[in-house]
């Protein structure tokens, strides 16, 4: 139970640290958010919990493929936010990311990468 609490606390601390940094410095907050810190933590947790090497490697492999369809959101979010506000922009961004992901998964399936 202590291990689980430690994982939650460190992961939450990371998210809070990034959001607090972003309040004071847009560039540094963006840089920290762009770094795969959560993924690195997940890989560390998996290793410390004794998961097999193949499972950890597969997690890193699939993380790469899942990140790609999220990238357009970061380009379009600022554009829409200035025009229609935060909540509609967030909804559009999430829907757009889902559609792009489905198209991405269909494309990658042709090359032997199965995301779904």
In a domain, 57, yes or no: no
Q: What percent of the chain has pLDDT over 90?
A: 78
Q: What is the pTM of this model?
A: 0.76
Q: Is 59 within a domain? A: no
Do 110 and 73 fall into the same domain?
yes
Helix (H) or strand (E) holding 28: helix 26-34
Instruction: Give 8-61 pLDDT, tens digit per residue.
Output: 898 899 889 999 999 999 999 988 888 888 899 999 999 999 999 999 999 999
Domain that holds residue 92: 65-116
User: Is residue 30 one of the residues assigned to a domain?
Assistant: yes
pLDDT, residue 82, reads 95
What integer pLDDT is reported at residue 22 of this predicted model? 93
Same domain, 43 and 1: yes
Q: How many domains does the chain have?
A: 2
pLDDT score at 37: 87
Residue 28 lies in a domain: yes
Cβ–Cβ under 8 Å, residues 14 and 37: yes
Mean pLDDT value across residues 68-95 = 95
**In a shared domain, residues 41 and 8:** yes
Assess whether 69 and 110 both reside in one domain.
Answer: yes
Q: How far apart are CA 71 and CA 45, in angstroms?
A: 26
Q: What are phi and psi of 76, to 5 degrees?
A: -85, -25
């Amino acid at each position: 139970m202590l291990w689980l609490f430690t994982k939650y606390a460190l992961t939450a601390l990371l998210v809070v640290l990034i959001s607090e940094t972003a309040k004071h410095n847009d560039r540094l907050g963006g840089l920290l958010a762009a770094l795969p810190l959560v993924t690195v933590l997940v890989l560390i947790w998996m290793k410390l919990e004794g998961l097999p090497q193949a499972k950890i490697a597969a997690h890193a492999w699939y993380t790469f493929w899942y990140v790609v369809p999220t990238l357009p959101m970061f380009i379009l979010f600022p554009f829409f936010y200035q025009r229609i506000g935060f909540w509609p922009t967030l909804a559009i961004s999430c829907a757009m990311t889902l559609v792009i992901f489905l198209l991405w998964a269909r494309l990658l399936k042709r090359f032997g990468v199965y995301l779904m």
